[in-house]
């Protein structure tokens, strides 16, 4: 789309900005929209974002030198380029990028998932079902970004809006008919989903997390709620966890047939073991649907219910059941590693008290020996979760090993002290030790495991680094476990 057409369309759609261009300025076909000056190519638009650590306005000379055709700014700047002046760069950037890339979201069946826990696994289940229906499906989330052809490690849960639109355009170009993506509260709040409207949305649950950013649970909830208001089509279908109090709020607010509740009470005859689960979905208004899932744990039953609920009526029940049965383990989500001793190591991303409770409860279900919990907590994050995590582990495990997570700029020993405080104040005497070196903590515990034991290594999931004093040090829990298994055989 030409620059002049972008300006005209955005104006017609009611977006607030002032556009200025020198007389006789060229009117190019816009090649792309970027917020990183290092990615600028000729005839693209550079969007200046003023962030917490840096200011995009500083990089205007670099963008000009790289051939940018126009700028989006939040304040007056010295430039000879056409200029979009707006009060919020992010508020305009996603819509501008959507137009520049041909509004790719409108060409895909868009499914969004939000909540505190279960987003990643639910997106994997949704993709499995859609692919079982023969639909090539892109995936965007915490673990990977897939454009339907290539899959790469994700940089963040919800990409910046201009990058998101490029990824969606790549999906369309690769023949995708659907996209499933996680919608983070931060991404929703700052406008990273701008330019996206969803056909189907899922709410998993809400528990305290990211309160260092949102300050309180109400702000956190209101950020999540944006997926169901600002970023959903009028004809969207929503699956809402009715067992969660915030899910109940959504169902009460949007009392319509399109907002479908799901609950663990909708799963009858549930059988859980280390290999997964089987049950019959008995949701009101639908025929009974027997399903078998390779995902273990009752919380994964809820994730299956959410995915099935939002797609029922869109796809045949037989296709939904086939898709559920075909879902692979999501990396770092109750990821099971059998040990030569007859024990089992489980790696999970759980880093909130509620998530740790879910994972340890699930592991207890297939543990015939001792249940050992190995975890830490990230620096610069919600500190009251630290003693809470210790209390959860002490209440459910037989032994706890406190270690390092991503300490960032904090002292890992101080973080561990807060976790230990929660263990000691739990009211239950339980053996524990502190081994700050994460690799040592894991390998030492693996070596001591006996037949029937289950070791739950939580907090980092699929992450491939430790963040310590501003440095990213290569490290991965699964690689640590697999290396120990290889040497132990």
d(CA 89, CA 84): 9
Nearest of 481, 442, 276, 280 to residue 366 by alpha carbon: 276
Nearest to 467 by CA among 395, 336, 396, 377: 377
Instruction: Characterize 52-67 residue by residue with b for buried, 16 or more Cβ atoms within 10 angstroms of its Cβ, and e for exposed.
Output: eeeebbebbeebbebe
Give the CATH fold of the 335-488 domain. Answer: 3.90.190
Secondary element (H or E) of residue 253: helix 245-253
Structural domain spans, the chain: 3-100, 104-326, 335-488
Q: CA distances (Å), 34 to each of 8, 101, 118, 321, 432, in order?
A: 20, 12, 31, 41, 49
Helix (H) / strand (E) element for 389: namely helix 385-396
What is the model's pTM?
Answer: 0.89
Pairing of strands 178-182, 137-140: parallel
CATH code at 3-100: 3.40.1390.10
Residue 27, strand partner residues: none
What is the chain's Cα-based Rg? 24
Query: Left if phi > 0, otherwise alpha if psi is -120 to 50, otherwise beta: which for 316?
Result: beta
Q: Render pLDDT for 352-381 as a digit per residue (tens, 0 to 9).
A: 999 999 999 999 989 999 999 999 999 998
Residues 310 and 238 sit within 8 Å (Cβ to Cβ): yes
pLDDT of residue 274: 82
- 332 near 143, Cβ under 8 Å? yes
8 A C-beta contact, residue 337 and residue 344: yes
Cβ distance 432 to 420 under 8 Å? yes
What pLDDT is stored for residue 285 in this prediction?
92
Task: Please identify which residue in the block is written with the tokens 């899922």.
Answer: 202
**CATH 3.10.20.30 corresponds to the domain 104-326:** no
What pLDDT is stored for residue 155 in this prediction?
87
Instruction: Give me 131's structure tokens.
Output: 């692919």
Give the residue ranges of the chain where pLDDT is below 50. Answer: none
Per-residue pLDDT, 235:
86
């Amino acid at each position: 789309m030409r620059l002049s057409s972008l300006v005209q369309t955005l104006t017609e759609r009611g977006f607030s900005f002032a556009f200025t261009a020198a007389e006789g300025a060229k009117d190019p076909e816009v090649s792309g929209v970027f917020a990183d000056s290092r990615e600028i190519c000729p005839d693209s638009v550079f969007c200046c974002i003023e962030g917490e650590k840096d200011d995009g306005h500083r990089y205007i000379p670099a963008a000009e030198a790289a051939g940018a055709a126009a700028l989006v700014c939040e304040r007056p700047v010295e430039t000879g380029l056409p200029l979009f002046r707006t009060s919020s760069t992010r508020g305009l950037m996603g819509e501008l990028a959507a137009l520049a890339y041909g509004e790719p979201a409108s060409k895909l069946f868009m499914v969004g998932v939000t909540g505190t826990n279960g987003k990643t696994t639910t997106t994997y289940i949704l993709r499995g079902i859609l692919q079982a229906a023969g639909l090539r499906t892109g995936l965007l989330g915490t673990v990977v970004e897939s454009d339907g052809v290539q899959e790469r490690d994700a940089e963040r849960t919800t990409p910046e809006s201009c990058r998101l639109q490029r990824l969606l355009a790549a999906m369309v170009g690769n023949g995708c008919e659907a996209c499933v993506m996680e919608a983070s509260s931060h991404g929703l709040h700052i406008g990273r989903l701008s330019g996206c409207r969803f056909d189907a949305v899922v709410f998993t649950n809400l528990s305290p997390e990211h309160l260092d950013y949102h300050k309180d649970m109400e702000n956190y909830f209101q950020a999540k709620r944006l997926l169901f208001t600002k970023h959903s089509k009028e004809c969207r279908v929503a699956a809402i966890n009715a067992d969660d109090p915030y899910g109940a709020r959504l169902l009460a607010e949007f009392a319509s047939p399109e907002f479908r509740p799901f609950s663990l009470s909708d799963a009858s005859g549930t059988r859980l073991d280390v290999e997964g689960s089987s049950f019959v979905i008995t949701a009101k208004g639908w025929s009974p649907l027997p399903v078998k899932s390779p995902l273990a744990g009752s919380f994964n039953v809820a994730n299956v219910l959410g995915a099935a609920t939002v797609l029922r009526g869109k796809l045949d029940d037989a296709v939904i059941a086939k898709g559920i049965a075909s879902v692979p383990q999501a990396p770092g989500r109750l990821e099971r590693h059998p040990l030569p001793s007859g024990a089992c190591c489980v790696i999970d991303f759980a880093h909130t008290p509620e998530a740790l409770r879910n994972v340890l409860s699930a592991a207890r279900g297939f543990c015939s020996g001792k249940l050992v919990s190995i975890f830490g907590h990230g620096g610069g994050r919600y500190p009251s979760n630290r003693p809470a995590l210790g209390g959860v582990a002490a209440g459910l495990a037989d032994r706890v090993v406190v270690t390092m997570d991503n300490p960032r700029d904090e002292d890992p020993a101080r973080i561990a002290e807060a976790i230990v405080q929660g263990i000691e104040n739990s009211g239950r005497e339980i053996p524990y030790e502190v081994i700050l070196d994460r690799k040592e903590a894991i390998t030492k515990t693996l070596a001591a495991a006996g037949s029937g034991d289950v070791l739950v290594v939580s907090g980092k999931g699929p992450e491939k680094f430790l963040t310590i004093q501003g440095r990213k040090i290569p490290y991965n829990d699964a690689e640590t476990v697999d290396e120990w298994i290889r040497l132990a055989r």
